[in-house]
Amino acid sequence: MKKLFLFLLTLSVVTFGASASNTYYSQIQVSAPSGQGYVYASTSGTVDDALIASSEYSNIYQSESATGSATHTWYLHAKAEKGYIFEQWSNGSTDNPTKVEIKTSATEKGSPATAQYSASFVPTYVTISNSDPSLGTATISKLVNAPGDVVTLEATLYRPQGSSEFSQTTRPSKSAKFEGWFNDRGEKVSDDLQVSYTVKEVEVLEARFSREFAIKTDENGKIYGYYRLQTPFFALDQNYFLCLTGGFKVSITGVGDRYLYGAVEFNQVNDANYAKEAAFADAGSVFYVTGTANMKNIHAVDSRTEVATNIIAEAQGTSTDVIVGGKALSLNTASTPGYYIIKYGSVSLQLTYGKKVWVTTDKPTNDSYKNAGDLDVQPVDLEHIDTNYFGAYPDASMEYDGGYWTSMYTSFPYECYEPDGVEAYVVSEVYNDDEGSIALIRRLESGIVPAATPVLLKCQGLSPKENRLIPLMPDDSRLPFAAEEVGENLLTGEYGLWADSSYGGRARYNPETMRVFSVNSVGDLGFYKLAPNEDGSQQELVPNRAFFDLNKVPAAKRAAAFRIKFDSGDLGESSVGSIVDTSVDNETEIFYNLQGFEVKEPVRGNVYIVRKGSKTRKIVY
């Protein structure tokens, strides 16, 4: 027995002058074999999948025309039952949905122009479904299959469309995830996007996609947190993040396109090797973002929907608010689900040929511009430590005391990720001995580095992924105590701003007063003069690194080079010995704050000096 569904389509015709006004009618009938599938007709090519399996619907459509007839457009939808797949419509079309048109001159509702279509289905064993077609596609290599057949299941996450201006290679958003293939009992079959599967029984295998909405908000709709903004263009193994590289103002109003190169750019734009791994160590790409969420649209997937306003991104001691002169930026969804664009009025940040950043009129329907402003918003925090990490990138030549060393200077506070074993050090003092000039370094026991604090980092690996650092919220309660722990620090740092100080950037390297953290010709780790380039020109400081400023050192202790030595770790009388009572037994632990006063009730997360008998150490409680 066939299921037969009847739909009426009415079309009104309006004429002008002496012409008569008529309403034109058409009727469409769609059917499917019972037990094999469902059919549905609508005026839209997109309908809720649940409607196709519903027995409750009516669809009366009418419009007006000034001609002697009307053409009505319908879309035919088919949905197979388990154990079947859709084959084709009776007109031969294999599209699902398929578009059909009925031309009618019938003006009587009881005698409409009529068309009939039936869907055919064929039996099979394994069929596939897709949990979210907006995020990706799912295919099976053999639609009609039987037990013993080996079929290939393939799921693909959507990527932004390439254009004639850029490389055609793009990447899917990190917020869009493939969860795996699942059978109709809810069991995971495979985690792989492509899998060979042996057919055993009648079942439906689902390609399950999900999306993580990266933007964090509090209960009042205020946006906060650390993020990276990555362009989807260029090779899949390259990572180009948007960076703040200058603090000077740039106008984004007026006629024509406005380049922001020099204030905002993609990191190391001409170095593909840098972008493969070192980009994850670029502190200029880690933005602290604030704004106001449109809570109604915060999880929107429709293109060009405004999800947040009053966006301000801070990094490198400056912010977008400074660069664009206090203008309110907004965050809108992009054409591809998972991506966003940054807008000001009718203009948006977009990518140029040279991987620079410009501000231009948003052109969502122009293929040359459609995805040029797409940015993948990636949270940088403990929750995403395995994918969106920020870390240190030491050089193999900087090996000393069982680790690889580098320096770091960021505008945001961070914590050394304990499982990776990174240690942070400051330079507490310098002195001269028989071996020359020495810089004494002291470890920060808490592993917490306050904002704008230059440090040396001892790492266990050579990749940023092995030396991860977790940005901390500005109001983290541990930061005041971490600042006390830093105490005296002779290091100085520089952000990655323009070297041209006339634009509000940093001063150039001064060989008379600056010493950089490096190794000398015999492999000793220390602070030395920065060598010239091969052509004789002077090298410049590496952004977001620490150096030794001789202006902080008495003239008598200044030198051409300083080797490093560790603080002994014994705090001794210089710190608390003159305050505390040393006549305690060897089993009692006494806690003191960093000023040397006893603390009866230590608070978790704070830094304390602990004395047990004659031994003294510094801990994070």
> Which 3-state string (H, E, C) describes 243-310?
EECCCCCCCCCCCCCEECCCCEEECCCCCHHHHHCHHHHCHHHCEEEEEEECCCCCCCCCCCCEEEEE
Task: Check whether residue 103 and residue 143 sit in a common domain.
Answer: no
Clarify whether residues 433 and 550 are in a common domain: yes
- Rounded to the nearest angstrom, the gap between the alpha carbon of residue 115 and the centroid of all alpha carbons in its chain is 51
From the CB of residue 182, how many other CB atoms can be counted at a distance below 10 Å? 18
* Domain hosting residue 298, numbered range: 222-384
Residues 6 and 107 in one domain: yes
Span 313-360, pLDDT tens digits: 999 988 998 888 888 899 999 988 899 999 988 889 988 877 788 888
Instruction: Look at residue 502 and tell me if it is in a domain.
Output: yes
CA–CA gap between residue 336 and residue 160 (Å, rounded): 6
User: Biggest alpha carbon distance in the chain?
Assistant: 115
The phi and psi torsions of 118 (rounded to 5 degrees) equal -125, 150
Rounded Cα distance, 230 and 349, in Å: 12
Whether residue 417 sits in one domain with residue 320: no
Q: Final residue of a domain: which of 161, 186, 211?
A: 211
184 and 112 in a common domain: no
- Please check whether residues 16 and 99 belong to one and the same domain: yes
Same domain, 500 and 523: yes
Residue 217 lies in a domain: no
Q: What pLDDT score does 614 carry?
A: 61
Gap between the Cα atoms of 96 and 76, Å rounded: 7
Considering the domain architecture, whether residues 523 and 407 belong to the same structural domain is answered as yes
Instruction: For residue 394, tell me if it sits in a domain.
Output: no
The pLDDT tens digits for 78-112 are 999 999 999 999 999 999 999 999 888 888 878 88
Query: Does residue 582 surpass a pLDDT of 90?
Result: no
Residue closest to 478 by CA, chosen among 445, 442, 441, 443: 445
pLDDT at res. 5: 40
Domain assignment present for residue 389? The answer is: no
Mean of pLDDT values over 502-511: 69
Distance CA 108, CA 424 (A): 85
Task: Verify that 138 and 119 share a domain, yes or no.
Answer: no
CB 166 within 8 A of CB 351: yes
Half-sphere exposure of 204 (CA within 13 A, CB side): 14
pLDDT, tens digit, 9 for 90 and up, residues 591-604? 887 666 788 888 87
The answer on 437 and 577 residing in a single domain is no
Q: What is the pLDDT of residues 191-226, one digit of tens each?
A: 999 999 999 999 999 999 999 988 989 999 999 999
Q: Which among 99, 123, 147 is the end of a domain?
A: 123
DSSP letters along 31-70, please? Answer: EEETTTEEEEEESSS---HHHHT-S-----B----SSS-E
Residue 190 counted as domain residue: yes
Confirm whether 613 is domain-assigned. yes
First-to-final CA distance of the chain: 76
- pLDDT for position 378: 97
User: By the 8 A CB rule, do 155 and 141 touch?
Assistant: no
CA distance 258 to 291: 24
Q: Cis link prior to 419 (omega < 30° from 0)? A: no
Buried b / exposed e over 527-566, threshold 16 CB at 10 Å, is bbbbeeeeeeeeeebbbbbbbbbbeebeeeebbebbbbee
Last residue of a domain, one of 524, 542, 566: 566
* Cα distance between residue 404 and residue 273, in whole Å: 21
Backbone φ, ψ for residue 106 (5° rounding): -75, 125
Tens of pLDDT along 544-576? 999 999 998 888 889 999 999 987 654 433 334
Asked whether the whole model's pTM tops 0.75, one would answer yes
Neighbours of 19 (CB within 10 A): 12
Q: Are 119 and 132 found together in one domain?
A: no
Question: Are residues 118 and 130 located together in one domain of the fold?
Answer: no
Percent of the chain with pLDDT over 70: 86
Question: Structural domain tally of the chain?
Answer: 5
Instruction: Compute CA distances 183 → 187, 188, 196, 259, 441, whole Å.
Output: 6, 7, 14, 51, 58
pLDDT digits (tens, 9 = 90+) for 25-75: 888 888 899 899 999 888 888 877 777 765 444 444 445 454 678 888 889
Query: Does some domain include residue 390?
Result: no
